[in-house]
């Protein structure tokens, strides 16, 4: 099945810093999505991307759907303590596959 | 809408017992997915349904696992007999169809069922 490679695995940053994480795949997708998971909860959608090359923002979050349809990145600007959590990329063609996650820690 | 509803939220059972996890998808969603999450393997797709029909169950670990969707508002994931290595958080998620409409491909997750098999 499709494999998604997400990096980095973890990040330790200072409050106010910008964050960047990305996902690559050997397969193409028709939708790329980014989710955030807090402890004891299910993943919650942050951003959904539907077209190759699409760049979408949601507040301090910006994500792009790669031109090749095999990659995507997520940027978080001016991080705050509540950004702490695990961020997952996901790609959908028929089913939906997830990356291994990026665990973000923000130090005040 | 109350979102995707899963039960139980937590279950502790002994090896060899049968476990049944339940899911109520969002009304009107025609896709339903079951995932398993562990530290070692992350989020693994077990099976998904479209219009109550199983489409791909290649992620189901072995014959001890079975899933059903008797109607559009209910699905179960059953493990019989359970083993300690089945301990994980099991998520159900639902979505609208793949019609190419913005928002249609977005999965909404339940809060998960944390299973511990002793």
Q: Model confidence over B66-114: pLDDT tens digits?
A: 999 999 999 999 999 999 999 999 999 999 875 556 667 789 999 999 9
Is A45 near chain B, with CB under 8 Å?
A: yes
* pLDDT > 90 fraction of chain A, expressed in percent and rounded: 84
Q: Which residues of A touch B111 (CB under 8 A)?
A: 40-42
Distance CA A83, CA A76 (A): 9
Inter-residue contact B24 to B73 (CB < 8 Å)? yes
Distance CA A51, CA A67 (A): 9
Distance (Å) from the alpha carbon of A11 to chain B's nearest alpha carbon:
17
Q: Which residues of B touch A48 (CB under 8 A)?
A: 102-103, 105-106
- Tell if the CB–CB gap between B43 and A98 is shorter than 8 Å: yes
Distance (Å) from the alpha carbon of B89 to chain A's nearest alpha carbon:
9
At a CB cut-off of 8 Å and minimum separation 6, what does A45 contact?
A33, A34, A35, B106, B107, B108
- pLDDT for the residue numbered A30: 87
């Amino acid at each position: 099945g499709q494999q998604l490679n997400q990096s980095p695995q973890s990040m330790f940053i200072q409050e106010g810093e910008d964050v960047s994480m990305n996902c690559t795949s050997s397969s193409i997708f028709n939708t790329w999505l980014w989710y955030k998971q807090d402890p004891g909860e299910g993943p919650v959608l942050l951003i959904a991307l539907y077209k190759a090359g699409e760049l979408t923002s949601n507040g301090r979050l910006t994500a792009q759907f790669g031109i090749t349809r095999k990659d995507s990145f997520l940027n978080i600007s001016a991080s705050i303590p509540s950004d702490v959590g695990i961020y997952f990329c996901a790609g959908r063609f028929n089913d939906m596959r997830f990356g291994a996650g990026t665990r973000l820690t923000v130090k005040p | 809408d109350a979102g995707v509803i899963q039960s139980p939220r937590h279950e502790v059972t002994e090896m060899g017992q049968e476990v049944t996890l339940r899911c109520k998808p969002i009304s009107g969603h025609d896709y339903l997915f079951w995932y398993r999450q562990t530290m070692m393997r992350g989020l693994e797709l077990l099976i998904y349904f479209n219009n109550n029909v199983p489409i791909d169950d290649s992620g189901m670990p072995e014959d001890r696992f079975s899933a059903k969707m008797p109607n559009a508002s209910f699905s179960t994931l059953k493990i019989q007999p359970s083993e300690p290595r089945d301990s994980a958080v099991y998520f159900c998620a639902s979505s609208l169809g793949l019609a190419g409409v913005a928002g249609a491909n977005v999965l909404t997750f339940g809060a998960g069922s944390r299973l511990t098999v002793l």
